[in-house]
Amino acid sequence: MPYAQIEGWGMHLPSRIVPNESFVKMGLDTSDEWISSRTGIEERRLAGHNEATSDMAVKAAHRALRSAEAHASDVDLVIVATCTPDHIMPSTASLVQNRLGARRAGALDLNAACSGFVYALAMGAGQIEANRARRVLVVGADELSLHLDWRDRGTCVLFGDGAGAVLLRAAVEPGILKSTMGSDGSGADLLMIPGGGSRYASNGRNGSNNSGGRYLRMNGAQIFRWATQMMSRAAEEVIHDSGLKADQIDLFIPHQANLRIIESTARRLGLSEDRVFSNVGRYGNTSAASIPIALCEAIASGRVDEGDNLVLTSFGAGLSWAALALRWTVPIEGHPSRWTPIRQTFESRMAAVRSAMRRQQRRVRASLDERFRADGG
């Protein structure tokens, strides 16, 4: 049976930085001290006016492929974990697949909110372990700033935008060790964006034509209590099932939602501060992008070495949770070939040309079909 290993990683963050003081200037009844003392967040990144989820996902995916020195055409499956897709349909993953030039790959979106990346990583590993894929590109990307009520200090200060990606490969040695996933739908109303779906349609069906339905709603107190328990339980499960002990965990990378939740989870697991990674202060809660961004930064800061045992754990709307234990198997040192960026640029341009040609072919065929129908009539 093949195993799944991470061979490439990459991230993208928007350039716009929004510090806590910006919310004070907006007129919210808050302060830098109020936000940072309760959440640990000092600033976050927000996507630009014309920057969609797929744009961030493509940039993170390019960097993951570059670090692995892999071709997009080598990818068998693209999974994008997101709760803020470009469209209800088609999937954002299809847009990413097309722009990368991953012409052999299937593509799908996965929505488990903030738990989405760990869900997607486990599912991508499962495809490799079942020998149905050799390489799987897993992306976590979200743009929750589109769904924030900027008058609600309880939610708008918490979230940021971004994307992160990893490339999984088939290997003969274990990389992904164990994973667990769960959900408790009885708590779905504690964290949700009500509008946009069939329950509360934007056209007014089912009694809802209120634009407020597009805003994120959260019961912060109940989510906090639940998350502090669930994150540690999920992590304990994968540590036990993978045959490891807490003192064998070299780095713990939890979902970056709230520093107090992260610290509480680490205490429950008996992990010292030097074995826990957090960047929530700089980026806030980037939802499905949270863990891959943290992983990329941990690698860049020298916190990950070949042979290390890592545990990822997350929670989110649903209520959903997931955790995964992995062994890092690739060397960190070294740089991709100088030809890799050039090759990627060429592949991206060829993908754009190929996509444009296919669209033109469809237009020509449609025009010919109409002409034949007219002549036949």
Q: Which residue is associated with the tokens 């020195």? A: 69
CA distance 179 to 168: 15
Question: Catalytic: 114?
Answer: yes
For residues 36 and 42, the answer to whether their CB atoms sit within 8 Å is yes
CA distance 141 to 165: 8
Neighbours of 88 (CB within 10 A): 8
For residues 155 and 143, the answer to whether their CB atoms sit within 8 Å is no
Question: Catalytic: 83?
Answer: no
Sign (positive or negative) of CA dihedral 110, 244, 262, 296: negative
Catalytic annotation, pick one of 114, 156, 296, 309: 114
Question: Catalytic: 285?
Answer: yes
CA distance 16 to 37: 23
343, containing H or E segment: helix 339-376
CA distance 219 to 284: 18
Catalytic annotation, pick one of 255, 258, 296, 309: 255
| Residue environment code for 24-47, b if the CB has 16+ CB neighbours within 10 A, otherwise e | eeeebebebebbbebbbbbbbbbb
Catalytic annotation, pick one of 20, 111, 285, 309: 285
Q: Which residues are catalytic?
A: 114, 255, 285
